[in-house]
Amino acid sequence: MGIAGQVVEAVWSVVGPGPVALHEPRFAGREWDYLRECLDSTYVSSVGPFVERFERELAAFTGSRYAVVVVNGTAALHVALRLAGVQPGDEVLVPALTFVATAAAVTYCGAVPHFVDCEERTLGLDPVAVREYLRNTTDMREGRCVNRRTGRVIRAIVPMHTFGHPVDIDRVMALGEDFGLVVVEDAAESLGSTVGGRHTGTFGALGTLSFNGNKTLTTGGGGAILTDDEALARHARHLVTTAKVPHGWAYSHDEIGYNYRLPNLNAALGCAQLEQLPAFLDAKRLLFERYRRAFAAVPGVQIVAEPAGCRSNYWLQTLLLDESLAAERDAILTRTNEAGFGTRPAWELMHRLTPYASSPKMPLPVAEALARRVINLPSSAWLAMDEAS
């Protein structure tokens, strides 16, 4: 039996017969109760008690002083970058291996994404390699990091916690300090992941979350900005409510804002989901262990585990092929999907996308190798909920 057949058998032994999607939400709590309460109140838009409640409970869960909820994770990242001082014409360091929203949010600010390499241990941005790259390609001028080739200021760095696995955030923070870069964490995939007991998204000046339908916790669509800075939180809330100056009846807007506030309906769903989040996280950890055991006997593959000193939410279970099997990736994807198992490769690397083909980039050997070898496996929490309970 070839490697594709072995992968199909291993997945079947964990999740049973297909069809099984890559990731599906589970609604087994008070979702209907809260939605009904929301509808009965008639507060279904961006004003309502569930919005404020969801923000309080998110802040408490993550340990952030403030959470500002918005319509999606991309909007959260867009506003966070603006709050971080990113200006048109700046550059922002972004991992080449990420979802397109990370780069798009930079572009929304009129800035330029500058793609950097990843490390295999975390699947995230490699702060050691990036440090060496910046030493050789940038100058510090009046406290600002300047790209020698383009002459543009590199204003910020956006580490992304890939598939829920925490990046080496301590080294990223040191990198930001040494090169004058504001750290904005893209924690869209890592709700429930921690480093040394501290939640992802709370290390940088700002962090962002996503509650898309395929995330560990969903509000249908939605996201959040996390920060410990009261002034940043206040400004974030102002920007995402169209920068409207508070007034009983007048409509006055004092800067360019965005209609990004999360509706009360979505927040109601989020409150019900948040109550179940610990059980979701336990189930995903059990699912990882089941995959790890199932693939232990399959040569040339491994299930990606959380980095040392970290606790991952295991948002997407990830199979990593040895380089010798990279050419088999598409055959594995074909066989697993034909068998009814929702598997997928990593995203297309950012520098290979048409809008970013001319963006600056460092050498990207690890990101390119990972893109050849990564396969995401069915990862819904419900696949292990019975065992977790």
98-140 pLDDT per residue, tens: 999 999 999 999 999 999 999 999 999 999 999 999 999 999 9
Residue of 165, 145, 149 whose CA lies nearest to 157: 145
C-alpha to C-alpha distance for 4 and 323, rounded to whole angstroms: 15
Note whether 280 and 358 are same-domain residues: yes
Note whether 220 and 297 are same-domain residues: no
Choosing from 273, 292, 313, the residue where a domain stops is 273
**At 314, which CATH number?**
3.90.1150.10
Note whether 384 and 280 are same-domain residues: yes
pLDDT at 388 over 70: no
Residue 385: the pLDDT is 87
Note whether 379 and 326 are same-domain residues: yes
Residue 214: the pLDDT is 96
130-166 pLDDT, tens digit each: 999 999 999 999 999 999 999 999 999 999 999 999 9
- Based on the structure, what is the number of domains in the chain? 2
Choosing from 238, 273, 308, the residue where a domain stops is 273
Residue 231: CB atoms within 10 Å = 9
pTM tops 0.85: yes
CA distances from 164 to 11, 281, 312 (A): 20, 11, 6
Note whether 182 and 298 are same-domain residues: no
Note whether 111 and 157 are same-domain residues: yes
Confidence of residue 387 (pLDDT cuts 50, 70, 90): low
- Give residue 300's domain range: 3-25+276-388
**At 253, which CATH number?**
3.40.640.10
177-210 pLDDT, tens digit each: 999 999 999 999 999 999 999 999 999 999 999 9
46-87 pLDDT, tens digit each: 889 999 999 999 999 999 999 999 999 999 999 999 999 999
C-alpha to C-alpha distance for 121 and 171, rounded to whole angstroms: 14
Residue 94: the pLDDT is 98
> What is the pLDDT averaged over residues 374-387?
93
Residue 274: CB atoms within 10 Å = 21
Note whether 175 and 282 are same-domain residues: no
